[in-house]
Structure 1
């Protein structure tokens, strides 16, 4: 009997660089790619255009775009609310609107402020109250990060203050050898495979250093193609059990508490 196809959930997906005038149009196009690549569900975050330091009004507009896209294809996407820690109260209000009182299931943080800053504490507490994961962009840049751009070291500091919150280390810092080792001691930090070249050895090292249970597939589409990012996992020299965990089972496990609270399971 042929083995069942693995569950594939993509933790890192955007509405940018997709044809379509409306969020619904763009989501319709996205589903074509998902069907082609065998991806069951994506975690959508950020609206369009991409804004690195959005105002409260811009946050709401971008999150509304994601809400519309998710509503149009609820069986193919969940939403992560985009927040800006420079506007703490506005971010808490947006969390309540989109997650506590809305359909979103996680938090997305980008480059407005380093996530080790104390302004992140109220956001992390709010996420903890709903058992919502936080996806934080991270990077190690050879010419230095931007003033608000986090590294994996920053996410480890925040995760240490909130051990009950699952933190997903976006891109694993780009320089994944450094990123994997940086997050290794923090058991509530997971490696996101998205957004770097499909370099041989990335997934194998992550599994070896962290355990397969702490590695999560993501694409960062459409900054990257689904195919190139899936190739990291499909071509990795790891066990089939590990591959299935990475492709979707780990993310589903992390999301199960909030999905259950919302009646999605």
Structure 2
């Protein structure tokens, strides 16, 4: 099967430079049969990045993907706390650069109105939009979004596809939270490979709204691939989850940039 990994980081990976770390990831990806990696955030993360942090981390990803353009796609790391500077990074890295997606993390909840300009411009550029979400038993970070926050955003942009990162971590709740919002997609990455996650996602959302990701290097490729390989679903649905759904979301911007995939 073709496998594209939606959810990859260069943290927790050996290497002193972005290029070395992406190369290390690709060694393992080759071993596991993964064709393409989507990479975002740099060598040292900040949960509440300043504009300068965003620029540095995005520049590190730009360096890495420039070394391996046939294997890795870059997503620009943005923050709704800094909408103007984030729009500038969106122009630098996507409109005028090689990146093809947007990554939003935990600095500010995605339900706030300040994020709307970022989402609107990303949609104009046909960029894939990925928002981290979590339902934490002991409470989220102050700016950390839940799937419920993402539903609020998705309702304001009903025609824009958005990926729900981690499907909220507590996936039984996350799947139910996004079920009725048809422009939201479930990212399988990051939770433990417990039995039933992929089957429930396919049953409740449909196979067309489920996407494989690993959250490497915080998680192994093998444990996250197992969620799909071991699922009691058809091979056709596995292929959708492993590659076809993500590739379908990315094709408009890839075509616009002349990228073959």
TM-score bin (small chain): over 0.9
The equivalences for 1:150-161 within 5 A come to 150-161=145-156
Q: Can you give the 5+ residue segments of structure 2 that lack an aligned partner in the other structure?
A: none
**Does the 8 Å contact 1:132/1:166 carry over to 2?**
no
Given candidates 101, 120, 130, the residue that maps to 1:106 is 101
1:173 and 2:176 matched: no
The equivalences for 1:230-249 within 5 A come to 230-249=225-244
1:121 and 2:116 matched: yes
Measured in 1, the distance between the counterparts of 2:103 and 2:153 equals 14
**Does the 8 Å contact 2:18/2:43 carry over to 1?**
no
Instruction: State the secondary structure of the residue aligned to 1:20.
Output: coil
Residues 44-73 of structure 1: CA distance to partner in whole angstroms, max 9, x if unpaired?
Answer: 000021111111111000000100110100
Instruction: State the secondary structure of the residue aligned to 1:206.
Output: helix
**Does the 8 Å contact 1:83/1:91 carry over to 2?**
yes
Measured in 1, the distance between the counterparts of 2:156 and 2:73 equals 27
What is the number of equivalent residue pairs in this alignment?
260
Q: CA RMSD in A?
A: 0.7
Given candidates 142, 149, 158, the residue that maps to 1:147 is 142
Which moved further from structure 2: 163-172 or 196-205?
Answer: 163-172
Given candidates 203, 220, 225, the residue that maps to 2:220 is 225
Q: What's the TM-score once normalised by structure 2's chain length?
A: 0.98
1:24 and 2:19 matched: yes
Instruction: State the secondary structure of the residue aligned to 1:108.
Output: strand
Find the counterpart in structure 2 of residue 80 from structure 1. Answer: 75
- Deviation (angstroms), 1:28: 1.3
Residues 156-195 of structure 1: CA distance to partner in whole angstroms, max 9, x if unpaired?
Answer: 1111111222111000001101000100111110000000
- Deviation (angstroms), 1:84: 1.1
**Does the 8 Å contact 1:139/1:145 carry over to 2?**
yes
Measured in 1, the distance between the counterparts of 2:33 and 2:90 equals 31
1:52 and 2:56 matched: no
Find the counterpart in structure 2 of residue 256 from structure 1. Answer: 251
Find the counterpart in structure 1 of residue 84 from structure 2. Answer: 89
Instruction: State the secondary structure of the residue aligned to 1:134.
Output: strand
Q: What's the TM-score once normalised by structure 1's chain length?
A: 0.97
**Does the 8 Å contact 1:159/1:165 carry over to 2?**
yes
**Does the 8 Å contact 1:181/1:209 carry over to 2?**
yes
Given candidates 177, 185, 189, the residue that maps to 2:180 is 185
Q: Can you give the 5+ residue segments of structure 1 that lack an aligned partner in the other structure?
A: 1-5
